[in-house]
């Protein structure tokens, strides 16, 4: 017989606190980094460092990095947590990326044990892979939830007094720390008011996105909406759908109630 809910321990499913302002833990993923057509690092022993207020970062054991492709530079930087960083230029194939990798020779007491590891600037490398799938933007936080649900909520979006999207079949995306996002079938969007732009972005959890601007009765809303043609498997149901910035639309109604505008980095 199943126990009462209050008797069930969630144990490791709970997100652990950032002890001393950080988490330093092994990742079970095989991670590879490529530059100039060459593999610069390939490891089944990466460590994941997550500092409070910062994105998670993969650290590779030096034994799993082609250190011959890294050239130490005179550049240094100081972290209150980790100490003084040594920086490297990475040369691979026909590519050179200056100060694209770093390590810590003598981390202070109480710091994560980063000595003997190398980290790379994500955007200065050509490609990252977790196992055999392309990874985007940055290392994922394993304790962050990104989830989608089919819904019959009535969602209506208004720009400059005009309803530009209205649906009763949104795909609702929940992502820890971010506003709820409503992904809408294109048939329920005034696509005639949207124009594709050259803007793109990458998300570690969703993949590569493209954007639309809107023009409604002479008023322009730059990059007001986005979508994923080929999202990552984690959020496959949002493929081909359109999402508007809650922060920027003139009105977002859910079940005939106007939602408050969230304050985020995209406001």
pLDDT tens-digit series, residues 115-131: 999 999 999 999 999 99
pLDDT value of position 14: 52
Report the alpha-carbon distance of residue 251 to residue 217 in Å, rounded.
16
Q: What are phi and psi of 164, to 5 degrees?
A: -100, -15
Q: What is the mean pLDDT of residues 236-257?
A: 97
Q: Which helix (H) or strand (E) holds 89?
A: strand 83-92
Report the alpha-carbon distance of residue 101 to residue 87 in Å, rounded.
6
Contact present, 141 and 132 (Cβ < 8 Å): no
pLDDT at 10 over 60: no
Q: Dihedral of the CA atoms 164, 166, 167, 168 (nearest 10)? A: 160
pLDDT value of position 165: 98
* Predicted model pTM: 0.86
pLDDT at 12 over 80: no
Q: Which fold has domain 13-135?
A: 2.170.150
Nearest alpha-carbon partner for 168 in 186, 154, 156, 179 = 154
Per-residue pLDDT band for 4 (boundaries 50, 70, 90) equals: very low
C-beta atoms surrounding 66 within 10 Å: 15
Contact present, 251 and 257 (Cβ < 8 Å): no
CA 149, distance to chain mean position in Å, is 20
- Domain 13-135 matches domain 146-258 at the CATH topology level: yes
- Per residue in 189-216, pLDDT tens? 999 999 999 999 999 999 999 999 999 9
Nearest alpha-carbon partner for 19 in 106, 110, 114, 92 = 110
CA atoms in the 13 A half-sphere facing the CB of 265? 2
Residue 108 DSSP label:
P
Architecture, CATH, for domain 146-258: Beta Complex (2.170)
Per-residue pLDDT band for 21 (boundaries 50, 70, 90) equals: confident
* Domain regions of the chain by residue span: 13-135, 146-258
């Amino acid at each position: 017989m199943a126990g009462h809910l209050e008797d069930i321990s969630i144990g490791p499913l709970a997100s652990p606190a950032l002890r001393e302002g950080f988490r330093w833990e092994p990742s079970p993923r095989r991670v590879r980094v490529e530059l100039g057509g060459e593999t610069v690092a390939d490891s089944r022993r990466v460590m994941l460092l997550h500092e409070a207020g910062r994105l998670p970062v993969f650290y590779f054991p030096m034994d799993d990095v082609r250190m011959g492709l890294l050239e130490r530079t005179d550049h240094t930087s100081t972290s209150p947590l980790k100490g003084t960083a040594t920086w490297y230029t990475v040369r691979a194939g026909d590519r050179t990326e200056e100060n694209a990798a770093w390590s810590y020779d003598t981390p202070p007491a109480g710091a994560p044990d980063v000595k003997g590891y190398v980290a790379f600037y994500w955007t200065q490398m050509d490609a990252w892979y977790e196992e055999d799938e392309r990874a985007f933007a940055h290392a994922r936080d394993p304790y962050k939830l990104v989830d989608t649900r089919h819904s019959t909520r009535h969602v209506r979006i208004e720009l400059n007094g005009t309803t530009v999207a209205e649906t009763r079949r949104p795909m609702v995306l929940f992502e820890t720390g971010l506003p709820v996002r409503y992904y809408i079938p294109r048939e329920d969007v005034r696509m005639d008011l949207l124009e594709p732009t050259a803007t793109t972005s990458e998300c570690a959890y969703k993949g590569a996105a493209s954007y639309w601007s809107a023009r409604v009765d002479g008023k322009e809303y730059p990059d007001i909406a986005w979508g994923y043609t080929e999202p990552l498997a984690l959020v496959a149901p949002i493929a081909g759908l359109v999402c508007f910035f809650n922060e920027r639309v003139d009105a977002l109604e859910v079940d005939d109630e106007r939602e408050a505008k969230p304050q985020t980095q995209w406001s």
